[in-house]
Homo-oligomer: A and B are copies of this chain.
């Protein structure tokens, strides 16, 4: 039951919640022992805050839930490849595993030559088509 697809669907629901608020639709959850300990979606417009990406909020919320600042033994599911800021935060967090929906060739950390923490396992391409379509349709509607 607790497959990567299962949890990515939860992250995708967060992205849809962002879309309903006319935010760039990116969603994210953090899982520890098959339990969701943080859910977040992009809120940069609502909060007037460029740092309010889904991943940043989820890192803070998960650490708060765990009572410690490191996300060891946690998996983050995020619908879009993290940007430089979020990748930097994830590196500090020592997250154990990240599962990415769609790649972000332009703004994502991978093409910037950055890496996360050396112990972080990276998986990508889970629900890729749905995650990618959600964000592409959003930007198309804005043009």
Chain B residue contacts of A69, Cβ below 8 A: 44-45, 48-50
Cross-chain contact B51 with A59 (CB below 8 angstroms): yes
A100-138 at interface with B (beta carbon < 8 Å) = 112-114
Cross-chain contact B50 with A114 (CB below 8 angstroms): no
Task: Give the residue name and chain of the B residue nearest to A83 (CB).
Answer: B88
Task: State A49–B112 Cα separation when bound (angstroms).
Answer: 25
A13 interfacial contact with B, CB 8 Å? no
Instruction: Render A53-89 as a binary contact track against B, CB cut-off 8 A, 1 for contact.
Output: 0001001100110011110000000000001111111
Chain B residue contacts of A36, Cβ below 8 A: none
Chain B residue contacts of A45, Cβ below 8 A: 69
